Every structure is written in C-alpha cells, then in structure tokens.
Amino acid sequence: MQQRKLGNNGPQVPALGLGCMGMSISYGVPNDEESIATMHRALELGVNLLVTSDAYGNGVNEELVGRAIKGRRDKFLLATKFGNLALAGGGGTGLSGGHPDYVPQACDKSLKRLGVDVIDIYGLHRVDPTVPIEDTVGAMKKLVEQGKVRYLALSEAGPQTLRRAYKVHPIVALETEYSLWSRDVDFLTATMKTLDALLPKDRRRDHPRFLADNIQHNAELLAPLEKIAAARKCTPAQVALAWVLAQGEDIVPIPGTKRRPYLEQNAASLEVKLTGEEIAALAKAFPLNVTAGTRYPEKQLKALGI
C-alpha cells in the first residue's frame, strides 16, 4: 500500500483510509459481522487507517471498531473525533462540545469504547463557536502530554481557525469533504441517479443534492466521468477517487463502506493513474458550485468552516 505523510510532523498513513460511519448509522441497516470483516479485509489490503467518531451512533461505531481491532491493535491506525454533540445526541454533561472540561471526558469514553490505551489521531469533529479554539486545542494538547493521544486533527474547520489552533499545538490533518463535486464522493459512484437508488433509511434522502429537483441535474454531470471509466475498464467511483489522489501527496481520501467488495474497489483506485488531460477534463466538467443543492440541510451547514 502506498503511504502518505500527514502534515509536517504527523504519521505515515496509507494513501487511502477507511471511513467507518456508515457501518453504524446513516446509510441503511447496519451489519456488524460484515463491517468487522470489512475492517479485517482492509488490514489485509494495507488500508489500516480507520476513521470514526464518538458521534457515530453516540459511541456505537467506536465500540464496533474496538471489536474489530481487538487482538491486533498494533496493526491499525485509529482516528476518532469528539465534539459533534448535535449528531451524538447532546453529550449529557451540560458542557458544550469544545469546552476544555469536556475534552478529557470525551477522550476517556472513546478510549474505553475502542478498548485501547492511546488514540493515534484525535480530532475536533465540529468547531465550538462558543469556545475559543485555543482553549479547546489547549485541552487536546494535554491529552498528548498525558500519552492518551498521539496526534491532533480538526474537522470542517476554516483556515483562520486552523492557523490559530496550530499556534497552540501542531494539527496533522484537516478532515473535510473534497471531491469533484464539492465535494461529495458518494454521488460520484454514478450509481445514484434517482432516489430509488437510496435505501429508505439513508440520510442522503434529506440532503438537498439528492432531492428530486436537483438529482436529475446532478446525474447529467456524470457523463465525462463515466466515459473515462469505460475507457479504463474501471468504475466511475475509482476514477473519482483517482482524481482526488492526484490532487496532492498531502491528501488522504477516506471513503466509507461497510462491504468488502466496495472496499476492494476503492483500494484498486490507487492503480488508476489519470493522465493530465483526463484530470483537466474532469476539473472542467465539475467546476466549483456546478452541482444543484447544498451538501447538507441548512441547519447542518452552520457548523461548517468556522
């Protein structure tokens, strides 16, 4: 498996990680047995970076990851997050997600659910607008000093916040959506051209880009992607991932899946080497803001880019 380095002082990680959220929430009915088998298969393929959060099922996904890595902890890189109380169900502590007193409480709970002594990459899932980022990262820094966490990350943070955070402690990664269509990799599998492709419990049914008024427009954007995929005898999803991988050695895609066949397809995208002409053609076909509809419903957009 190809390796990439996170930040100037971060760890070496596989060029592709595995997002674990969908194994427990949001995208249909969970299948723990298959999800654990998928994580084990990921290790065989060298995709040993698992990315989760305490907000995914209010700890359920971390517990699932903990079951999967039991007895082989040293072979995996674990990344988890905290502070997205809206998704996690409120937190139950009376503290906001970025409060310095909440940070160690969240970390200890994650360590217990994961069944580990240290978390490799610990991230703030959503910036807390009520707490200076310096205070939140200051509390996270203490976790590093205590040996509970190795590296720090932020999720969906704006550039000014990232700069301020870095002055307190090095931030090795910024987790954010980035792909050809703004960038939501899900749609670029070219398999979701109508709502019928989504299961009844798939949360994307509530996302504006998948509403009836927008999905047809967005489906029409896929022709160039499908053309390249057909010529290369691979899937559109593999082309989409190959495009992201080609944007820089500092980018590590973490596509999520709960099934082994899709994991294997994603891993194979590393073998798809797009030409400069293909990269340019895709960028032209998917200019900024080309898609109809926003990434998330309006209430969720307010927490992005703070």
- Residue 197 to residue 232: CA distance in whole angstroms: 25
188: pLDDT confidence band, cut at 50, 70 and 90?
very low
* Element spanning 269, H or E: none
pLDDT over threshold 60, residue 75: yes
Is the dihedral angle over the CA atoms 290, 296, 297, 301 positive or is it negative? negative
Q: Global pTM? A: 0.86
- Residue 148 to residue 107: CA distance in whole angstroms: 8
pLDDT for the residue numbered 186: 38
Residue ranges covered by each domain of the chain: 1-176, 179-306
262 part of the active site:
no
What are the residue ranges of helices labelled H in the chain? 32-45, 60-69, 85-88, 102-114, 133-145, 159-168, 212-219, 223-232, 236-245, 260-268, 276-285, 298-301
Please identify which of the residues 56, 102, 122, 296 carries the catalytic annotation.
56
Architecture of domain 1-176: Alpha-Beta Barrel (3.20)
Class of domain 179-306: alpha beta
212: pLDDT confidence band, cut at 50, 70 and 90?
low
Same fold, 1-176 and 179-306: yes
Q: What is the mean pLDDT of residues 250-272?
A: 96
- Residue 195 to residue 172: CA distance in whole angstroms: 37
pLDDT over threshold 80, residue 255: yes
196: pLDDT confidence band, cut at 50, 70 and 90?
low
Which distant-in-sequence residues (6+ apart) come within 8 Å of 164 by Cβ? 133, 134
Q: Which two tokens stand for residue 54?
A: 């305490």
On whether the CB atoms of residues 177 and 155 are closer than 8 A, the answer is: no
- Residue 126 to residue 303: CA distance in whole angstroms: 7
Which backbone phi and psi does 19 adopt, to 5 degrees? -80, 130
On whether the CB atoms of residues 122 and 82 are closer than 8 A, the answer is: yes
C-alpha distances in Å from residue 227, one per residue of 239, 255, 285: 10, 22, 12
- Residue 221 to residue 215: CA distance in whole angstroms: 10
More confident residue, 208 or 232: 232
pLDDT over threshold 50, residue 185: no
